[in-house]
Chains A and B, each alone.
Chain A
Amino acid sequence: MFWRRAASFAGTVIAASILIFIATEIAPGDAARFMMGVEADPVALEALRQDLGLNGPPVERYLRWIFAFLRGDLGISYTYRVPVSDLVLERLALSLPLAFGAMLLSAAIAVPGALLAAKNVGGVRDSATSSAAYLGLAIPNFWLAMLLVLLFAVTLQLFPAGGFPGWSRPAEAIWALVLPVIALGVPQGAILLRLLRASLIDTASQDFMRTARAKGLTEWQALRRHALPNALVPVLPIIGLQFAFLLGGAIVVESVFYLPGLGRLVLQAVTQRDLITVKAVVMVFVIIVTFLSFSIDIISTWLDPRLRRQRL
């Protein structure tokens, strides 16, 4: 089971790497000319093209790229002229905490919200939370971000409108991430709430819940202690997908707050035709996401007693 999954993980990554390579190969525009500018000398241009490895047959270039990637050599950025791996690590230092923060916030919204709703299905609280969840679902995160900027940065001037001071100043860095985390986390929280509520209602009707209630636990205790852990299992893969979404999809929210995250790096790279960076960053994303869904697969198999029994 583990090895079959691992093989498919590797296959996915290889297939994705080929797609990435092809997409960046057929891109128009000349990186060398972009680096050298309007007045560039043709001889200098050709020398640079050679230097960047822009010449040579595609298969050879693909193999060279992928083997260098495996060694941790992500290439040198066309525009920044520094190793792409440095750029990626720097940007991850923002993107990971942002995604984690948003994840935490969405859980902080979804878990109590779903418990409240599931406790009394069809009640006032249920319809209130589900209406709120619909709203959270419908409002695009970048619009929410703009509304937050308008209210908290422009009007009330409580938070910075954007930018990131770097982790060398931790208090300011966290302060700068508050609005982005809210903008990213709230809509995700709404999605998670709906899923978790449905899953809780499913679980609540099962036998062990009846037993728990019979033991004299209140509905609330039964839900929290018994239903919640079980209800989380089917939601787990979704959380994995959400994390992937938060990591990459944050690109839009990063744009509102001009945060130097991984998403914005790849967006800037694609408009500056820094294809080495585009290739590398997209590849890094693919690996993270694939690895995540692979581990979640393994974890849910291990967590879910029913699945485990089936496999045994």
Chain B
Amino acid sequence: MMRLIFGGFIVIGLLALAALSLVWSPHDVTVFNIPGRFSGSSQSHWLGTDQYGRDVLSMILNGAATAVFVAIAAIAIGMTIGVALGLAAALGGWKDSVLTRVNDVIFSFPGVLVAVLLTASLGPGLLTAVLAIGVFNIPVFGQLTRSAARSLWQRDFILSARAVGKGPWRISFDHILPNLISLIAVQASIQISLAIAAEAALSYIGLGAQPPTASWGRMLAESQTLFAFRPALMIYPGAAIALAVLGFSLLGDGLRTLLDPAK
């Protein structure tokens, strides 16, 4: 229960701040003020300023929007395709082996390499990051949906739906999917936490967000030459990533405990 409260608190705060940054942030991060760079924390700049004199707090808030956008978009892609494949796979036969094959192929690429390959053809950018993270999530949702859906197919209410003469696809969407929503939501929360970390990592190695998009990973990459004398520039974005990842994974675990009838 503690997890749920903590996680929910962090996630709601993160989403609210990310949304806020779209319309307002303490300072305009598109304006550079080079003489005012590297200032420590002060009344007007709570977390100080970066190498271009931008407000670090505003950068963190804008970075939150990027992280949340990429993570949710990527998970939406992975979830939609994964759940669809999983539902189909639960019907058995060749449809089942489609999922297995797709999963095998995707899992054969170690994470970052999907991004590397996509970068080779699309160039680096947020779209590449979203697609790479999304693709990597297909098997996760596919597998989950398949096994949960298969056990549902054995249940009485499905048998009665069949008796009425509904086709397998109708049953999948009308009866199976609604029963999987909570399970999928729990997994989505956990996967979003991983996606936030993945976006940061991709942006850090230069395959994700590009300037002037604010991104925690990019802030870390830029801080690498600065942290010897301004460690704060590395501490804040890193802490923001850790907090966001922690929030979503606590929320996911908390939800799981709450929804799991066995415990």
Contact = CB atoms under 8 A, between A and B. Distances in A.
A245 B223 CA distance: 26
A249 B110 contact: yes
Nearest to B227: A150
B111 A13 contact: no
Contact of A11 (B101, B123, B227): B101
B123 A251 contact: no
Contacts of B91: none
A26 to B, nearest CB: 5
B79 interface: no
B249 A138 contact: yes
Given A134-B249, A249-B112, A286-B108, A270 B201 contact: no
Contacts of A26: 121
B171 interface: no
Contacts of A135: 242, 246
Contacts of B228: 150, 154
Majority-rule SS of B interface residues: helix
Contacts of A8: 100-101, 104
A147 interface: yes
A140 B204 CA distance: 11
B111 A249 contact: yes
Interface residues of B, number: 40
Interface residues of A, number: 49
A267 B116 CA distance: 7
A146 B227 contact: yes
A138 B246 contact: yes
B246 A251 contact: no
A79 interface: no
B101 A143 contact: no
Nearest to A194: B253
Contact of B121 (A24, A263, A271): A24
Given A8-B104, A289-B109, A289-B110, 6 more contacts: A11-B101, A23-B121, A134-B249, A140-B197, A140-B201, A289-B107
Interface of B: 100-101, 104-105, 107-113, 116-121, 123, 193, 197, 200-201, 204-206, 220, 223-224, 227-228, 231, 234, 238, 241-243, 245-246, 249-250
19 contacts: A8-B101, A13-B108, A15-B105, A23-B117, A23-B121, A24-B120, A27-B121, A138-B242, A140-B200, A140-B242, A150-B234, A245-B111, A252-B201, A252-B204, A256-B224, A282-B109, A289-B108, A289-B109, A293-B108
